[in-house]
Amino acid sequence: MTQTSGEVIYLDTLDVVAYIRETEEKLEHIHRAIDELSLKSDMVESVTALQVVAKEYKLRMEKAKDILSEHIIED
C-alpha cells in the first residue's frame, strides 16, 4: 500500500482532533455527574471514582494535544 506522507499526517491529525473532541465531551459529562453526585452524602465513593476517571481522561487528552502539536510543527 502506497502512502503519501502528507495524507497520512493529515488523516492522523484529524483522528487526533476527533479524539480530543470526544474526550472533552466525555469530561463534560463526567464533571456534570460529579457535580450532581457531590450533593448526595452517600455518593462519596462514586464521586472519588469519577474524579479518578476524569483525571485519566484529562491526561489522555493532554497527550493527544501534545501529539497534535508535534504534527502541526512537523508540517
Please give the chain's pLDDT, 75 residues, in tens.
334 455 445 557 888 889 999 999 999 999 999 999 999 999 999 999 999 999 999 999 999 898 888 777 655
Domain positions in the chain are 5-74
Q: Enumerate residues 6+ apart whose C-beta is below 8 A from 63.
A: none
pTM greater than 0.75 (yes/no) = no
CA distance 36 to 50: 12
**Strands (E) located in 1-75:** none
Which triple of cell numbers denotes residue 19? 479524539
